Chains A and B, each alone.
Chain A
């Protein structure tokens, strides 16, 4: 038992050490700091999807909607209301999170395949709105004309805009805060209840757990995390376009979670690293990168449904 605990702490320390040192070791492998920030942001998105998928067993295939709303929220705030990166994040998180919570009340009425289908369809609403309402959202061209702002901490000022490393650490701090909160929730009695629902919904119901309410709350929390990631994404690119709302991105998040290993906490991070780096590499060497990603998805579904971490666990258990 003690051994398991130390090894877990060692793994955790290794993960954080690797993330903190990333701007120094990534260039050795041909990476660049902005790619690192992108991986972290998308990993946070994949972990938010997995918060729902891996720990309550509820598949939302429309989570890009909340991600995208977060991105647009941050963009609107920076463009029109307040020139402040943290306020942009807050605005995005609130916009996506609240929209998700409200619609979630409607969505949790359905389960299983039905739930997945309804989430896809509702997610697309925001895509069409962003696409059509061009006077506000910039339509197909996307929302432009805003940028992240330097961070004023009272005693010092951090230039997030021009210093890529500084922005990476800003993202890392946000990532750590969100992931820490996620881990805290999963450890709480509420988190245990989520897992109980995943394992045996009928039994959970018999024990008097209000299943729909729990799923709704879990869904809403996941939307807030997702919107937070989306807001970071807008500040990363200084740009938001309707594609951040499209269900294709929702699918990417799900595949990151599955590839890394859903039902594991850190799996989606691993999945996001592999997926984003691969996508970045493939799209630079071939115009047919979509086929390769498609084939990768098919292969994962057929041969590695437990994902990378799931496979490692299975090996070490055997």
Chain B
């Protein structure tokens, strides 16, 4: 029993880390541009499929690096051509725009790579269990968590110590003043959007190794990211990270006792947060509302 609980907590942490990676990308875009990116799951799928296509040429490791960058470039183009036009308009329009985009991406993926799911293999070094007693901790799972941790630490370092990162954080709090200080807000938002999409693409590559590929896979991963943001609080990336881990662990632990409710528990947590602390665990009061 205790091994089962341990298994589910570990599993929950891994899944939670994954939610957090996706949610932080969403959160970055939401905080600076006020856009809820419905197509985030779509970009994740693009990242996964690109790595699938690139693996025969670049190998697993090459694709792991290149596919997210390519996804980010696609994201950058989409921002320049479409998303940019709805900044500052009613949030309704950015929601609808990215909703339409999600349709196009899903259908496009199906057109290019086929509607059937595709299996993805990971290097043998990563796929074998690390110990027979804790059989569930495969190398790949640990690798996923490590990659997520590296990316998130890297992102936080960039946000804290680089000029653009500081500008992004300042823009989250008061974009008008940042703009008045002579900073090119358009370029900043572009960069920020691309970074968010990069994270989605990376999440897609990682997810492909664990779950395989399927044109709809983004859909099931989008809702937990929303919940992670709401639980953690809009406006705080640390909150989003915490939210992601929390709902992952909660879902994992619930799976031990009441498996069919493991999806529902996230929503229960969200309801409790909204009831007790509407701004979220670490959220700023009055952000985007």
Contact = CB atoms under 8 A, between A and B. Distances in A.
A305 B82 contact: no
B271 A114 contact: no
B181 interface: no
B42 to A, nearest CB: 10
Contact of A110 (B93, B101, B111, B278): B278
Nearest to A247: B223
Nearest to A124: B223
A61 interface: yes
Nearest to A288: B107
Interface in A106-143: 106-107, 109-118, 120-122, 124-125, 128-129, 132-133
The secondary structure that dominates the B interface is helix
Interface stretch (B169-177, B187-195, B227-235): B227-235
Interface residues of B, number: 43
A310 to B, nearest CB: 13
B289 to A, nearest CB: 4
A125 B264 contact: yes
Interface in A264-318: 288, 290-291, 293-298, 300-302, 305
B91 A291 contact: no
A160 interface: no
A117 B96 contact: no
Given A110-B289, A116-B91, A291-B104, A297 B96 contact: yes
B97 interface: yes
B97 A297 contact: yes
Contacts of A150: none
B289 A293 contact: no
B101 A298 contact: yes
Contacts of A129: 264
Given A114-B288, A122-B267, A59 B95 contact: yes
Contact of A294 (B103, B223, B288): B103
A296 B89 CA distance: 19
A128 B259 CA distance: 13
A254 interface: yes
A178 interface: no
Interface string B212-226: 000000000001001
Contact of B267 (A53, A113, A121, A258): A121
Nearest to B90: A59
A234 interface: no
A318 to B, nearest CB: 22
A301 B86 contact: yes
B267 A120 contact: no
Interface in A71-115: 106-107, 109-115
A179 B155 CA distance: 51
B174 to A, nearest CB: 17
A297 B100 contact: yes
Contacts of A255: 96, 99-100
Interface of A: 53, 59, 61, 106-107, 109-118, 120-122, 124-125, 128-129, 132-133, 251, 254-255, 258, 288, 290-291, 293-298, 300-302, 305
Given A128-B264, A297-B100, 14 more contacts: A110-B274, A116-B36, A117-B36, A117-B229, A118-B230, A118-B274, A120-B223, A122-B267, A125-B267, A255-B96, A294-B104, A297-B99, A301-B93, A301-B100
The 10 closest A-B pairs by CB, nearest first: A297-B100, A294-B103, A294-B104, A290-B107, A291-B107, A113-B91, A294-B100, A111-B289, A125-B267, A298-B100
Interface of B: 30, 34, 36, 38, 82, 85-86, 89-93, 95-97, 99-104, 106-108, 111, 223, 226-227, 229-230, 234, 260, 263-264, 267, 270-271, 274-275, 278, 287-289
20 contacts: A59-B91, A106-B275, A112-B289, A114-B288, A115-B289, A118-B230, A121-B227, A125-B264, A128-B263, A128-B267, A251-B96, A251-B99, A255-B96, A258-B96, A295-B100, A297-B97, A298-B101, A301-B86, A301-B100, A302-B97
